[in-house]
Amino acid sequence: MSFKIDHFALLKSIPRKKHREIIQLNCIHLPFIGKDIWTLYELSWLNNNGLPQIAIARIEVNITSINIIESKSFKIYINSFNQIKFDHYTTFIKILELDLTKCVCGKVSITLFNLNEIKKQNISEFYGICIDKQDVQVTSYKYNPSLLTCSSNHSIIEESLYSHLLKTNCPITQQPDWASIQIIYSGQKIDHTALLCYLISFRSCNEFHEECIERIFNDIENVCKPEKLTVYARYTRRGGIDINPWRSNTTFSPCLIRMARQ
């Protein structure tokens, strides 16, 4: 017996506004621009002859969308197409765009890559200074924005800092989410040790990827008050999906790299 799958019904949306109100962001005039960049490594469907097709997809969701997509529901949604026939991949993409646009209530763009294109993509790294190898004693893993401090020197500098030690937890499954994070700013010098301890304090924090990055942006902006600030995270793959949010109050074009843990 065959039945028609309601693919869209599998998607679960999470309103952005609730968390933004919690961290006291101005939801009408956001202090940043940005996107949530998803990479789907387990995308498959059938052609008209029943031959399985595979691809890797990049999906970009603008932060002005009303909702984010809950990742577990996204995986179930994507897998629901594994045995569905399409006359052409563009028909499949059109369905994805319509469903995801409806789910997030905002702009969504989708780019497909074949495996030959991905083979040419080298493992890359953030540019800047890695702050991880510091002789620092960590005594608390509870979220603490008061750990952030700046230098007493009032001269303005420009810096790109990054860490591989960011860990948060999924608020639904409680499973760990691991990420590398880059912080680019212009302003009073941020204390590197303080920043590292602050990032480590997220280790017991239960938030979605997108929410976590907005919190970090907001904390650094409120405490350190940089003139320019960009926060960009690349989370490790879970369930065949990685999520890479960025937020910036200046012109920024994220390097769509693939890191060692991706």
Contact call for residues 31 and 239 (beta carbons, < 8 A): no
**Backbone phi, then psi, for 209, in 5-degree steps?**
-50, -50
Spatial separation of the C-alpha atoms in residues 137 and 71, rounded to whole Å: 34
For residue 141, give Cα distances in angstroms to 94, 196, 198, 201, 235. Answer: 44, 12, 9, 4, 19
How do 228-235 and 176-188 pair as beta strands? Answer: antiparallel
Q: Retrieve residue 181's tokens.
A: 């994070």
Task: Count other C-beta atoms under 10 Å from residue 207's C-beta.
Answer: 20
Q: How far is the C-alpha of 147 from the C-alpha of 1, rounded, in Å?
A: 60
Residues with catalytic roles: 170, 177
7 and 99 Cβ atoms separated by less than 8 Å: yes
Show the tokens assigned to 38: 């998803």
CB 49 within 8 A of CB 93: no
